[in-house]
């Protein structure tokens, strides 16, 4: 079992930056696929960013590409999401997710991830 705890969310003005953290325990996730998803009120959970388990390449949704950066610190068993130039439409609950065995084509599908954090609220106001 893997336990994930997100932190770093908050209320910020549009244009500001936030850094989300996702600390894992229970197992070492250094070889896992890791991802961030978000869910706004009344909307489905959507893919934000991921690091594939093989090779460590990063993937982003078009809406955040160039503004957000996903990274991981294997020594700390932690995943990060650096969010710059936040927009009001980025407002959502952000979740981290990990899975040991995803193939590349499944990275953006939330149903494929076995482990989830509880979420952290990010609100960017204009």
Q: What is the mean pLDDT of residues 78-85?
A: 98
* Distance from the Cα of residue 15 to its chain's centroid: 19
Q: What is the mean pLDDT of residues 54-70?
A: 94
Burial class (CB in 10 A: 0-12, 13-18, 19+), 70: buried
Query: For residue 76, what are the CA distances in angstroms to 18, 27, 38, 92?
Result: 19, 12, 23, 26
Confidence of residue 54 (pLDDT cuts 50, 70, 90): confident
Q: From 78, 60, 17, 97, select the one nearest 69 (Cα to Cα).
A: 60
Strands 78-83 and 68-73: antiparallel
Confidence of residue 56 (pLDDT cuts 50, 70, 90): confident
């Amino acid at each position: 079992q893997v336990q994930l705890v997100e932190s770093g969310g908050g209320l910020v003005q549009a244009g500001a930056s936030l850094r989300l953290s996702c600390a894992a325990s229970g197992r070492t996730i250094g070889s896992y696929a890791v991802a961030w998803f978000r869910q706004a009120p009344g909307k489905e959970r959507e893919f934000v960013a991921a690091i594939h388990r093989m090779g460590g390449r990063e993937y982003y949704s078009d809406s955040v590409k160039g503004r957000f950066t996903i990274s991981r610190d294997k020594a700390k068993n932690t995943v990060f999401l650096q969010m710059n130039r936040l927009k009001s439409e980025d407002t959502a609950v952000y979740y981290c997710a990990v899975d040991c065995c995803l193939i590349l084509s499944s990275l953006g599908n939330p149903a494929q991830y076995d482990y989830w954090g509880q979420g952290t609220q990010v609100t960017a106001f204009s």
